[in-house]
Structure 1
Amino acid sequence: MPRPTTAKDPGDRLESLFAESIKPSTVPASAPSQAPTSIKPYQNAETLKKMLADDSRHAVDCWQFFLEHFGPDAWRKGSIDRKSSPSYLYIRDGSYSGRALLKRIIRAKDDDPFSTTLPAFTEVTTVYAQLGILHGPDWADMMFSLIERILKYRESPSKDDKLEDMLISDLVGSWNVVFRQLGKNQHPVEGPPFDWSHVPPISSKNAIQAYRKRGIQGCFALLTPSFSFHHIKDIPVIAVATFTLLTQGHISEKKVVQEAATLVSSLGQVISVLSTESRPTAETRELAAETVEEFVKTAWSETKELAARMDVPPATKTPSSTPSHMSTRMSSTFIHRRLQDAFVRRDGHEVDRLWGDMLKLPVKQESTTDPEFQTSKNPQRGFLSVGICNYFILTYMALRQPSRAIDVWNYMVKSGLVPNLATWDSMMTGCKTSRDAKALENVWAKILALRVQPDVVCWTTRISGLIECNQFDKAMRALDEMGRLWLAAARSKHGNLKVEELQHVDDVEGAIKPTTSTINAAISGLLKKHKVDAAHRILAWAGKFAIRPDIITYNTLLRSVIRNGQTQEAMALLQQMQDDGLEADVATFTTILDETFRYFDENTPEEQKEIIATIFSEMESAGVKANLHTYGKIIYHLLEREPTDLTAVNAVVERMARQGLQPSPYISTMLVEYYFSRQPPDLDAVRVLIERSRMEPASVDNIFWDRVIEGYSRVGDTTSAVRILGKVNSGSSRISWTTLQKLLSSLVQNEEWDVARTLVRNAKIDSGGPLPEHVHGKKDQHRFWRLVAELELLDA
């Protein structure tokens, strides 16, 4: 319908909507006064909404109800289909849609990670994917929560392998669903989880091409092809965290991880494309996401290095005129393909067979340290080179077979081939992975015997490897050896200068300068082993060498002391950090707050208030000033626990006011969502918040008003929802189509058909009506008009 040129201002129309709704109906008596016959699914959706709003109802009950009425079995039985299924149930950020159900499940699993009744995230992911309603941000929320639980469980003093297997299997299974491209269909599709048989791995060529076309986001989009491109912002950091976990220690040896070699390999190929400076970060600003981001940040250098090693080196082309069967069979392209295939299938026997074939080739004596494949200029024969041996070692190390990698290394030395630094470091990494301290030191001894100068990466691997092998004193001696060798070489070249002065000189020949990264790796490893005293000894050692800690050092230490309840020590670290000229970052605040709130529920509201006041006071004395981000994080922590007493929250808000800070829109939105979530909803607090927004307009935004209207709609107060809608739309803001859809659903549930028709009529005047399906509208614009059509209100 063409848009009228004399239409009233949208604000005038919507402001009068409530007045129209209470007038006697002018609809002819013959007009339908009841809901359409397809209202049953909407009634079920409303029942689900009420269940989700009722805190006394367990998440398991909500999930079972959802499966019964909207799940894949319901589709297969024919009790529901795409046309009769309420579209608003699947709005991604709906308060009573599948999104709300996910939130309930996530919260429930946070409280009881090993519940046998709650659905695993693999099951939730599979069901949502089969229904075609799995969205990238929703899946990311589940993964952040799951990875955070895995990280916390790894640090627990008592572990159960079966429980850890449960978490890792859930992680791998959830990836399996999105990696296999289960997508939308007219009927739920079927597919068993953990099936990797028909999943082609992502090659380095695929990753590089995607990176060139669409950047980092496009590169990681290869891993989740069924997600919309603009919904995968958090996929990179989740992918890096997953790869780091699945390639660490005993986790990499689990059967479910080895069977997922295709996934691990593909993750590595994509990550290897990134530069060192391109570490992914989380877009979502929630605690679980920030915990995962900190984990990625701490392990980034090692993760990036491992991914680069797993990346297949480019093959050297064999001349097309080569007639020899042997040279074709042993071409680098052939080796590349066969080794990669063997790695994906975790087929160590195939790698052994390939290595056996390589042993039949003559050795090419060369001094090159080029890790690329080397082939002979003689087209009749192939040669065994340093590059090929290195690639076999890398493959064996990726397969966690250090003994076979040592066999290759031994053959290299026996044959006169000189290993390069990447070879040595790969060997030590393998010893570290297998926790074989004796083999690690033997490799180091061979490095020195052959007069190869190790670089800082090799030194770091040796030191951290000894720590991983529980050889703490040896690790300390190795670090001290590194420092003494460098100090002696530096003084030999520059004279008897002070250590502080020598720190500013470049590396000297014959020794490697100890760096902060080496110190950080050692401290992190020791604290994971609960060797606090040893970590402090290393810090003291670094001080003698004038090696200054960086922000990663302080964050690592803060996590340890706060976890142990050493508040004064934590504040001393913050003070020292300020003295060193380092500013606390998001990771610092995350560490402090996460550990402080770990056992917060054990305190009374008054005690919570005192604890928070102490944190603020100590931070200020250390020169760390709280900002809106800090306040928002604290309020988030407090509201996350769904308190019945807001003493602590009110104290934080009052402190903000004393500082002259207005609540940010994020804080206001959190508060209004909390007020509406109460049973019964705290509508008085909502009204106070709305009144305050008139005096502090900058404290709210369009998202806040969306949540207000959605909240009133959810509790059935459509009068207030319509009134707020008119006032907001009369200004510069506009309510989202998602919110309009929820309001319309609530009007229908209340059987307010006149108001619903007016809402649709005004929306049609404002926007021109439904868009053609091929036109990309605003978020949920098409969904709104589909709901209108389902409710037979399109001609209103």
Structure 2
Amino acid sequence: MRELGGIGSVCLRCRFRLLVASRTRARHSASTSSPAAVIQDRQSSAQFRNGGHETTAMPMSPGSLANKPATIPSKTPSGVPRSAIPGRRSSSVAMFQSIVENQSRMPSALGSSASGTASIELVKDVARIQTMMKQEGATLAEAYAYFEENVYPHMIKDAAGVPQIVKNQLGTVLLDRLALKKPRDFALSRLPSVTRITEIMIMLDVLKPAAWATLVIELVQHIYRQKTVPEAYDSVKQYETAMALRDALLHDLLGAWRVFCAQMVPPSDSGTPTKAPQTNEVKSKSSRPGAEPQQQNTLQNAFGAMFPQYLVPSLLRPTFAAFATYKLLTDPLNRSRSTDGEAVPFLQMMKGLIFRARPPRRKDFEPIFNAFPDLPRFVWPKKQAKDETNTVLNAGSVFRDNSDPKRRNVHRQLGEAINRRNLSMVNKAWLEFWGAAATPDDARTSELAECSEMFDYFIMAYTMMRRPNQAIEVWNSMERVGIQATIKTWNSMLQGCAKANNAQGLRTVWDKLTESGLKLDIAIWTARIHGLFLCGEASAGIRALDEMVKVWAAREDPQYAAIAVQPTVEPVNAAVAGLLRLKRSGDVMKVLAWASKQGINPDIYTFNTLLRPLVRRGDMQAIDELLATMQSINIRADVATFTVLLEGSLHQIGDLPPAQQVAVVERILGAMKSSGVDINMQTYAKILHLLLREGDRAEAPVKAVLAHIWRRGLELTSHIYTMLAEHYFSRDPPDAAAVTALITNRRLHENKAIDRVFWERMIRGYCQAGETGRALDIFDRVFAPGTMITFGTLYELLRPLVAAGDVAVAMRVVEAARKIGRVDDDRGGRGGAPQGDVGEGKRYWKHRFWHLAFEHGLMGEQLAERFREANM
């Protein structure tokens, strides 16, 4: 067997191969050697329970083992020379060596040779894995692969015969590290799933409740952080990809709980954990004289009663992990229909536990929130605050649909149609939503009656595209299925007029609204004021703001009762933002002074709006005065404030020495953290964008930001990867090797969250760098199977193939382009195909890609004929 001391001179991958080979030879020699007894005193050996919380007496203390020199015999049972494990020995390795030494010196007992030698080999395996993990460049994934292939199968064959101390050490060396590192791998899947980690921990009886629950909580938090609304994504494809990854994480979370709950011991009382007792039973129990009120039992105690193999004090984190999972699975904004059936057993168990215990309180889990500060707001969400102007007027925030998949699909289609301002897509979405029949049947009418917000969304879309007749048709259809127009319906029409820059339409809608007698709210007044400014009607917007105050003052008059709404800061913010957009900054202070007289105080959104133009001008004195004013009235900066300030702080940061650059970035991140601002991936992306503008001069702070992200266990987004790759391509000459290393090291081909835009940019960059082969490889991997690609990218790929005279490959690209090509559109990715309307079809064939392909004879006869017809 190869000496452990010689491993250092071999590369890491080869070391694991050598270990596999040595393992096989050792087991072969064990099976052919003469019988030798290995007697283990199970009463005096260490027996760890509850993940190391309970131990029995050992013949000597770990300290004495560490102090006593322990060496492996010069001969193994098979007669192969072995040397001691090199380097500084830890007490755990010394303990293992001592066990091997004691077992090899025991007198023989008939029939015990094979199992005893196998136990020794397992001890050595653990020592090998531990030694390997200390080597520079060692990866946990490779260590786990070695364990899964060569160690675990032998352990489960004779699990009872494996000393518990061996299992415990393996848990410390490998499994605990997997639980610690897995949160950084949720999106990559280089490490085993949380479900698999749980299975192995339980099989080896090394599951430590707190450590395991920390991993589960990390997974719950990771899932919570995934955006679940379409408006959070730039395209439908990106949204679907993100949701597919999220569903996979939910399946893994439920799998982990399925394995953990297999250990469950049902309580002996009449109540069961999976079914809540009837109400009358609860009353009869609680009414008994001297009975302890049922609500005194905490969720942790109820949870512990089902898992008596663990000490109740060690179950605080598992209890919170279970409760957080329960809240996630029952949250209408975060639940996933793909896991509904799979989640039933867990949800039934938790409902039974919660029913038998008093309602969980935040203070019950206060010690956990220091490590997971984001989770309380997910598990115990506060009431939604008043919408700020930018939220109220954001169509995505008003029109959310979280119902059945078909309705969600229509919702996504309509959102994309609005972004592209594509009337034909809106019509198609409406047909799919309403159905082909002019009058839906009773079943469909009942379904449509539950979709009031979808009708409002269609009304906004048609109003925005200046199709009032179709908007009215939607309104009438809504009433036919029994839905009455609400203030949100009118709001959608105002938003549509504002987006269409239709000031006259906005006034008409407002007049009809006030005549309707409907009770108005702050959102509708804000929408009106914002819309007037958006249409360039600044004076009318200010008059509307003043009118709001006057109407409120006359609210006792019956004719104003319905439209009177108390003025707040939201419409003032809309006016301030509108004035700044129209470059009327001189009127801003007048509006703020007027608002102050009305008793309307500014909020953080007001200051962020004022701060943005100051940063753009670089007016540091005004910026300092504004921040001082914020502090004086106790308004704390938020993420938007810091985002604005970043533009000023990082401008021309490349002029500073590297150490000072890093200090500036660290100071910004520290200030955000101390202010309680959540530094999300959008903020990191903004920082990196500003730094990468400086080119290689800001390399040091870029690395510092990346380190900050990775220390938090977060994964870079597709947008950040795109920025990094484009930074490498922008070098002179382009650094294609750095891009290749980025893709390979981060395993981006396996990352489902990487979107189409990233891969298109990589194709363009490689082609410009003269690496056509790599560009073609991405095309074959990502796009040839059917993913859409823009003709601009196809043109960049076809041009070097034509120049190189590679006709066969060029023709293959042209043939694939006919199936997956889409027209470029810088305004939002509008794509088209010949199947669309006539104008879109002609635009499709007029792209320079087809001209290049036709010019060099790369089209088939049928394709060439279509090209000629479209360009006649």
TM-score (norm 1): 0.40
Structure with higher RCO (Cα < 8 A, 6+ apart): 1
**Rg larger in 1 or in 2?**
2
Under a length normalisation based on structure 2, what TM-score does the superposition of the two structures give? 0.37
